[in-house]
Amino acid sequence: MLFSVDENKKRKRMIREQLERRGIEQQAVLESMREVPRHLFVPDKLKNKAYHDCPLPIKKGQTISQPYIVALMIEALKLEENDRVLEIGTGSGYAAAVLAQIVEEVYTIERHQSLAELARERFEILGYDNLQVKVSDGTEGWQEFAPYDGIVVAAGAPVLPEPLAEQLEIGGKLVIPVGDRDLQELLVLTKESDGELNKERIARVRFVPLIGEEGWVAED
């Protein structure tokens, strides 16, 4: 069953205990995460752990982020309904689905073809029609639909990829983990009217590496 009572309960508890208790308060984020069936974004054998307070492994050595981190990043974007958002690192597609319930248009880039395809299938089954997936190096952004009101990077970068800063709208926010390969600071960059980026650090995090032209060199 797609939407069982049991999963619904687990989701409500996840919202209460992992998100609200830690200070997530934006209604659009809480509502979206109360609805998106996270258990359909994890490998079958991990379904029973889908609502646990941790990241989980998916294919290709990647991870679906911990629910709290997804909420923290999306809340930091301060989104409005008619916004257009770019995500780098589709992975399972979970965070993109959460975004798609909040804003009008979502563009998401994944470097692994197999992950992108699986995410696309999920979006189709769940009926998201405001979401587009592309297989490429997300450190170059997605020029075609720029500028974006929000950009969220779900992998750890050594430095801020310049094309992402360029493709951000004035007043828009870019959320990105920047640091070394296994520990980063989660930065929220706001593009001021003069084009300068105002920087805030909101957490210490551990993401899989952002691999690409303006990221790390692949080890795989």
Active site residues: 65
Q: Give the one residue of 111, 120, 122, 191 binding ligand SAH; rule: CB under 6 A.
A: 111
Instruction: By CB under 6 A, tell whether 115 contacts ligand SAH.
Output: yes
Instruction: By CB under 6 A, tell whether 210 contacts ligand SAH.
Output: yes
Instruction: By CB under 6 A, tell whether 95 contacts ligand SAH.
Output: yes
Instruction: By CB under 6 A, tell whether 167 contacts ligand SAH.
Output: no
Instruction: By CB under 6 A, tell whether 64 contacts ligand SAH.
Output: yes
Q: Give the one residue of 18, 32, 92, 167 binding ligand SAH; rule: CB under 6 A.
A: 92
The token duo for 210 is 């952002």
Phi, psi values for residue 195, rounded to 5°: 90, -10
Q: In this complex, which beta carbon is closest to ligand SAH, that of residue 50 or of residue 196?
A: 50
Q: Give the one residue of 7, 75, 83, 110 binding ligand SAH; rule: CB under 6 A.
A: 110
What is the Cα–Cα distance from 121 to 115, expressed in whole angstroms? 10
What angle, 0 to 180 degrees and rounded to 10, lies between the N-to-C axes of helices 67-76 and 27-35? 140
Q: Measured from the CB of residue 34, what is the shortest distance to ligand SAH in angstroms? A: 16
Whole-Å CA distances, 21 to 68, 77, 126 = 10, 20, 29
Judged by CB under 6 A, the number of residues near ligand SAH is 25
The token duo for 43 is 């490998």
What is the Cα–Cα distance from 12 to 10, expressed in whole angstroms? 6
Spell out, one character per residue from 11 to 50, where the chain touches ligand SAH: x when CB under 6 A holds, - when not.
Answer: ----------------------------------------
Residue 129 CB contacts under 8 Å (≥ 6 apart), including other chains: none
